[in-house]
Amino acid sequence: MTRRRNESGRLMNDIVTAKSGAKPRLDPQIAPIVAARHGDPFAFLGMHVEGDGLVVRAMLPGAASVAIVDTAAGEVVVTAEPVHPDGFFVARIAGRSQPFRYRLRVEWGGETREFDDAYRFPPVLGDLDVHLLAEGTHLDSYQKLGAHVTTLDGVAGVAFAVWVPNARRVSVVGGFDSWDGRRLPMRSRHAGGIWEIFVPGIGAGEAYKYEIVGPDDVVLPLKADPYASRTECPPRTASVVADPHPYPWQDGEWLAARGRANDRTSPISIYEVHLGSWRRDLGDDGRYLTYRELAEQLVPYVADLGFTHIEIMPVTEYPFDGSWGYQPVSLFAPTARYGTPDDFRFFVERCHRAGIGVWLDWVPGHFPSDSHGLARFDGTALYEHDDPRQGLHRDWNTLIYNYGRREVANFLLSSALYWVHEFHIDGLRVDAVASMLYLDYSREPGDWIPNMYGGRENLEAIAFLRRMNEVVFGEGTGATTAAEESTAWPMVSRPVYVGGLGFGFKWNMGWMHDTLGYMSRDPIHRKYHHNDLTFGLLYAFHENFVLPLSHDEIVYGKRSLIGKMPGDQWQRFANLRAYFAFMWTHPGKKLLFMGGEFAQEREWNHDIGLDWQLLGQPPHAGVHQLVRDLNRLYRATPALYQRDGEGDGFAWIDANNGAESVISYLRRGAGDPAAIAVIVANFTPVPRHGYRIGVPYPGRYRERINTDATDYGGSGIGNLGATEADAEPMHGHPYSLRLDLPPLAALIFTREA
């Protein structure tokens, strides 16, 4: 018997010839290769030194013949011998002991193809990358994992790498290998659980997935790439190799100043958008607008209305339209529903060039259980907890990330930075933070596991959120973060170093619930619920708040904003206009979901566009004009935004007139203390003539906004554009204004020096 060993000393005997005339016996390693169960294919496939020659092995199902071509010479060196009917070929090259560059010339179905052998290339990842990935400290992991067009050893191709620590075998599959997992099993980097391969001769646009054999030797459903930066358009589910060419950004001026645009002392007025239902192309069967079409239509619309920011509901790829993007399967790929990643970059750039910041809803709280996604990715609970008391979100039937696993936390941190760096996103609004913070969130007793101290706080999620905020702000790009957090968790928007969670802003869900509850009541009953209007000022300065009138409030039978308002048509529109003025002058940044700006009557439906025809009706056009005027006044009046998070920036004039449902207050900026804004709101349909409120300074007070103006659809009761302060003390102030208060209306004055 002839026995040969390769350079590593491993026994290799593909075809072991016994005594003359004996039947050849296959090397025992061939069977696992053919069955796609070999744990270390690079140790066996490709070219290896054996004795005084070389051997090349290739698994090419369906091939009729295989020849080894010397790349430099362009000549066939040897023809490979088929040694297994499923397509395993072996070629022996005598007299050459130094490996050389070679190609495979293969005949398939009467057609000959020539290509580089994937198994002749060295590892893709360096040892340091593998170490950092295993350590969970590779914040640029998206640059290493996933699929990347590259050139290796002078050959163009795509490098694939994926974290699958418990797999017995991983193959990349696609049209380039007939979706056959036997063709391209990957190299295992055991130290970090990473599997990798360089596939020569393919490039951008290739669809692919991973075929994984789990630890129980079961082939899993094909998996999309967790780090894919591009995907097929749903309902198709494959990942796609992205174009490697850098995008020619032209928003440098914006980036240099965006820290100021996101600052808590700056005006921030956010238009929340679901890109798929803002507007549809009615001339083309109601199809989605593309990212580029949205850049041409949505951006100038938002700029004209005076909003400072757009907040986009999640565009991280998601399988089910009805999730609105909040159940993503790919945290590194903008949804293909509206175009390519570069198309999305074009949209962001257009926003920036129009002076509009872009915040993105980002979902690190949970992920769907779709078979092609992260769920039991390697046959085990890899990204999620195994115990459903920790790993299953009862409300949404989704899976919860295992934040305590360093590779999972690194995956999420890398995603956050990816959107900031690669797409110039200005802010990440983190969805459903409360569900991350509490182990017993939406769970019955006995259906959750306490933390190590016996408490309900998710210590691992808390540590992750703090680290995420440290990382985002530590980059120094000017990007910010915001939390949708619906409980009284303390210091959500306070720095980590003082014990906070580190977010830039927090949604003020309490303000939203209280004030919408107040506004939905018939005015005759409002005097009994006056505290719903004023209570928010007791905690308004504990956080850097955003006041959200979001998509969540106008679906599932909750009615639209205008639908919540009581009374006849005139009263409903008057109520909404007064409420908007109250919101725009209340401490806190502003967020309004699309359609609210023109008082859309029906609830939001993600399957169709907004009812744009309503803008042709005067009441709706009046609300639209008011929102535009409120934004412009807000941005031009530092008293309305500079000290949102400071108690000294707000003072009640009269918070106690519940009997008449009238409130009055003033706002101060950081400069001249006399440069104040004065707001008076009458939440009953009764005009009040000669109504007096106290003010701290003499002079002329200009009526900047009157929500009862005829231009907005109101009755026109007002104060002729301005009023003078009288030296008559009132409400603890030495001066007062005598005003005519319109019904169901708010007045905004600024003092003129």
Catalytic sites, residue numbers: 431, 484
Among residues 694, 698, 700, 705, which one has the least CA distance to residue 729?
694
How far separated are the first and last CA of the chain, in Å rounded? 105
Helix (H) or strand (E) holding 506: strand 505-507
Among residues 154, 72, 69, which one has the least CA distance to residue 106?
69
Backbone angles phi, psi at 149, to 5 degrees: -65, 130
Among residues 193, 261, 190, 607, which one has the least CA distance to residue 424?
261
| Three-state DSSP state, 194 | strand
Mode of pairing for the β-strands spanning 700-706 and 722-724: antiparallel
Omega of the bond prior to 28 within 30 degrees of 0, cis?
no
Residue 470 CA to residue 556 CA, distance in Å, equals 36
Whether the Cβ atoms of residue 363 and residue 328 lie closer than 8 Å to each other: yes
Whether the Cβ atoms of residue 45 and residue 59 lie closer than 8 Å to each other: yes
* Dihedral sign of CA atoms 213, 214, 220, 225 in order: negative
Most distant CA atoms of the chain, gap in Å: 122
Among residues 366, 369, 490, which one has the least CA distance to residue 435?
366
Radius of gyration, alpha carbons of the chain: 32
Q: Which residues, 6+ apart, have CB-to-CB distance to 455 below 8 Å?
A: none
Instruction: Give the number of other Cβ atoms within 10 Å of residue 601's Cβ.
Output: 16
Whether the Cβ atoms of residue 177 and residue 183 lie closer than 8 Å to each other: yes
Tokens matching residue 572: 């409903």
Helix (H) or strand (E) holding 91: strand 88-94
Residue 362 CA to residue 427 CA, distance in Å, equals 9
Q: What is the DSSP letter of 235?
A: T
| Three-state DSSP state, 93 | strand
Backbone angles phi, psi at 42, to 5 degrees: -70, -20
Among residues 452, 325, 435, 328, which one has the least CA distance to residue 391?
435
Residue 167 CA to residue 705 CA, distance in Å, equals 65
Whether the Cβ atoms of residue 612 and residue 600 lie closer than 8 Å to each other: no
